[in-house]
């Protein structure tokens, strides 16, 4: 029997992910030791309440409320408590005492990543975070290692399962956003307070992490442009379907050229967008996640799978544990985070995109020409125009003094600033009653 060197593993947090990590580690510890070349001794699990109900049983003698005491003396610390504090302080304590750290904490990385990576580098430790983006889907390591020799052009990710579930229900079951959200809550996808998901904060944190990795540049969370899905209507989803699109909340990280300076930079953004039904991301249903990568040499790649869930996320955490243990066995300093490209972060105004704009307009001679003029004045080229049958009566059947029509206008690619100036001009035009929808088109 091979005698392995023992590595002391401490786990902070025994929520849905932590409890599953403990359970799998206790069940498959021998196999993981063989793969790592080191014994993985679980020395304790720090929790707030010893008697709280858990999704998997944890032997009582492993539980402690003394997180600090557990961290000191551990070779590898797994942080699964979430939130900014005390997670940040615990991770700093662990790194400063020379332990490698594994975390699934996207909010912390998106907010304090540079500080934590710096602390790891100072002591030659390493911070692993495969579970922080899209949970079970291997995406951190592919970006960090497998694609390190390539140049990423663009990443488009469906990285929030709750919003994908909601938009998918609106598309496939005709539910309103409110009803689909209620279903998501019932099924346990959405949190009691769904704000972080539906307003795009969760996806923005993941966009910051993906953009930093892909472009070797620190991308702070406050430089990620963000729109959530709360404004998406069932009418927009229906119209999208008829036009061959599906609405998806996308986290996009892209290499762009600054329009003013000509300098290359990075754009990171989150918004609901129209995706052609022929695009691989359109086939991502329910609460599943997927990350689509366009790389200069590798071409298009897609990573698909579970973006949440206790045991699924535990898979990514344990993969990091094996990596960390292997590194301990080999010795030497951890691999520092690569931010050497240090590209400027570009504002949303630099993005080139296509819009699909729906307007209700007065139906009288010259209106179409006036609207076309507004687009041309802002340098935006129209690709498609569709006008629906005019309505000459209101809902009560009374004849309207000024009959209305609905126009759906698709544009060619234009800058975000020109497009938003066009929408502002439409909003204040006398012939436009209402701009009922404007959505960006991505992936075509």
Question: Which of 299, 307, 248, 235 is closest to 277 using CA atoms?
Answer: 248
Piece in contact with ligand HSE (CB under 6 A), picked from 32-40, 48-56, 140-148, 159-167:
159-167
308 near ligand HSE (CB under 6 A): yes
Among 130, 168, 175, 202, binds ligand HSE (CB under 6 A): 202
**Min. distance of Cβ 136 from ligand HSE in angstroms?**
11
CB count, 10 Å around CB of 275? Answer: 25
Q: How far apart are the first and last CA of the chain?
A: 57
206 is catalytic: yes
- In contact, 344 and 265? CB cutoff 8 Å: yes
Residue 422 engages ligand HSE in binding (rule: CB under 6 A): no
Q: Using an 8 Å Cβ cutoff, are 275 and 284 in contact?
A: no
**Which stretch, 110-118, 158-166, 174-182, 225-233, contacts ligand HSE (CB under 6 A)?**
158-166
CA 32 to chain centre: 30
For the record, the structure tokens of 72 come out as 């000191």
Q: At 110, is the secondary structure helix, strand, or coil?
A: helix
- In the list 23, 36, 126, 160, the residue contacting ligand HSE (rule: CB under 6 A) is 160
* Furthest CA-CA distance within the chain: 91
Tokens found for residue 345? 């972060």
CB atoms within 10 A of CB 115: 13
Q: What are phi and psi of 260, to 5 degrees?
A: -85, -45
Q: Which of 206, 242, 248, 288 is catalytic?
A: 206
Which of the ranges 93-101, 112-120, 160-168, 210-218 carries the binding residues for ligand HSE, by CB under 6 A? 160-168
If the CB atoms of residues 73 and 188 are measured against ligand HSE, the closer one turns out to be 188
Min dist. Cβ of residue 409 to ligand HSE (A): 33
Choice from 162, 218, 267, 437 touching ligand HSE (CB under 6 A): 162
Q: Is there binding between residue 80 and ligand HSE (CB under 6 A)? A: no
Across 92-244, the runs of DSSP E, i.e. the strands, are 100-103, 127-128, 152-158, 225-226
Per-residue tokens: 363: 């139906």
**Cβ proximity to ligand HSE, 7 vs 184, nearer residue:** 184
- Residue selected from 307, 334, 404, 443 as contacting ligand HSE according to rule CB under 6 A: 307
Q: How far apart are CA 109 and CA 210, in angstroms?
A: 11
Part of the chain binding ligand HSE (CB under 6 A), chosen from 24-32, 34-42, 58-66, 155-163: 155-163
Is residue 272 a contact point for ligand HSE (CB under 6 A)? no
Nearer to ligand HSE, 49 or 193 (CB): 193
Comparing CB distances to ligand HSE, the nearer of 202 and 337 is 202
Specify the 3-state DSSP secondary structure of 62.
helix
CA distance 11 to 83: 16
What element of type H or E holds 382? strand 382-387
Among 197, 254, 337, 418, binds ligand HSE (CB under 6 A): 197
**Which residues from 368-387 bind ligand HSE, rule CB under 6 A?**
none
279: its two tokens: 């695009």
156 or 374: CB nearest ligand HSE: 156
| CB of residue 164 to ligand HSE, shortest distance in Å | 8
Number of residues that bind ligand HSE (CB under 6 A): 7
Query: Shortest Cβ distance from residue 134 to ligand HSE (Å)?
Result: 8
Q: Are 111 and 221 in contact (CB under 8 A)?
A: yes
Q: Is 161 an interacting residue with respect to ligand HSE (CB under 6 A)?
A: yes
SS3 for 436? strand
Q: How big is the chain, counted in residues? A: 444
CB of 348 vs ligand HSE, minimal distance in Å: 23
User: 111 or 160: whose CB is closer to ligand HSE?
Assistant: 160
Kindly tell me which of 196 and 439 has the beta carbon lying closer to ligand HSE.
196
Kindly state the helix (H) or strand (E) to which residue 328 belongs, with its residue range: helix 310-330
- Phi, psi for residue 17 in degrees, rounded to 5: -80, -50
Torsion of CA 126, 65, 194, 351, to 10 degrees: -20
- Between 160 and 411, CB nearer to ligand HSE: 160
Residues 244-263 that bind ligand HSE (CB under 6 A): none
Query: What is the nearest approach in angstroms of ligand HSE to the Cβ of residue 260?
Result: 35
- Report the interface residues with ligand HSE, using CB under 6 A: 160-162, 197, 202, 307-308
Residues marked as catalytic: 206
């Amino acid at each position: 029997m091979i005698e392995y060197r023992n590595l002391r593993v401490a786990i902070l947090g025994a929520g849905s992910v932590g409890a599953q990590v403990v359970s799998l580690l206790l069940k498959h510890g021998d196999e993981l030791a063989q793969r790592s070349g080191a014994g993985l001794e679980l020395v304790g699990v720090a929790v707030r309440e010893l008697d709280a109900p858990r999704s998997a049983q944890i032997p009582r003698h492993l539980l402690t409320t003394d997180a600090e005491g557990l961290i000191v003396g551990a070779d590898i610390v797994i942080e699964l408590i979430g939130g900014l504090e005390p997670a940040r302080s615990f991770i700093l304590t662990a790194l400063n005492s020379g332990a490698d750290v594994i975390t699934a904490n996207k909010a912390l990385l998106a907010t304090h990543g540079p500080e934590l990576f710096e602390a790891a580098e100072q002591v030659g430790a390493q911070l692993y975070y495969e579970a922080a983006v899209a949970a079970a889907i291997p995406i951190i390591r592919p970006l960090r290692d497998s694609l390190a020799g390539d140049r990423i052009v663009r990443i488009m990710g469906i990285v929030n399962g709750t919003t994908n579930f909601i938009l998918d229900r609106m598309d496939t079951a005709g539910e309103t956003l409110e009803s689909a959200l209620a279903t998501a809550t019932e099924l346990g996808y959405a949190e009691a307070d769904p704000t972080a998901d539906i307003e795009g904060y969760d996806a923005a944190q993941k966009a910051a992490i993906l953009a930093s990795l892909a472009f070797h540049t620190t991308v702070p969370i406050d430089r990620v442009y963000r729109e959530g899905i709360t404004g998406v209507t069932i009418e927009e989803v229906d119209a999208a379907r008829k036009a061959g699109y599906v609405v998806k909340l996308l986290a996009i990280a892209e290499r762009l050229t600054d329009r003013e300076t000509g300098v290359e930079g990075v754009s990171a953004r989150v918004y609901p967008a129209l995706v052609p039904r022929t695009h691989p991301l359109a086939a991502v249903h329910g609460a599943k996640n997927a990350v689509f990568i366009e790389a200069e040499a590798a071409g298009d790649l897609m990573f698909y799978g579970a973006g949440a869930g206790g045991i699924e996320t535990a898979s990514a955490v344990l993969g990091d544990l094996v990596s960390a243990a292997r590194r301990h066995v080999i010795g030497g300093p951890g691999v520092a985070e690569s931010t050497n490209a240090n590209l400027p972060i570009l504002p949303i105004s630099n993005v080139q995109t296509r819009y699909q704009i729906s307007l209700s307009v007065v139906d009288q001679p010259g209106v179409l020409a006036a609207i076309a003029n507004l687009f041309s004045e802002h340098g935006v080229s129209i690709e498609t125009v569709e006008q629906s049958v005019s309505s000459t009566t209101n809902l009560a059947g009374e004849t309207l003094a000024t009959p209305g029509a609905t126009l759906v206008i698709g544009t060619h690619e234009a800058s975000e600033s020109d497009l938003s100036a066009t929408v502002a001009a439409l909003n204040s035009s006398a012939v436009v009653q209402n701009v009922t929808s404007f959505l960006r088109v991505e992936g075509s």
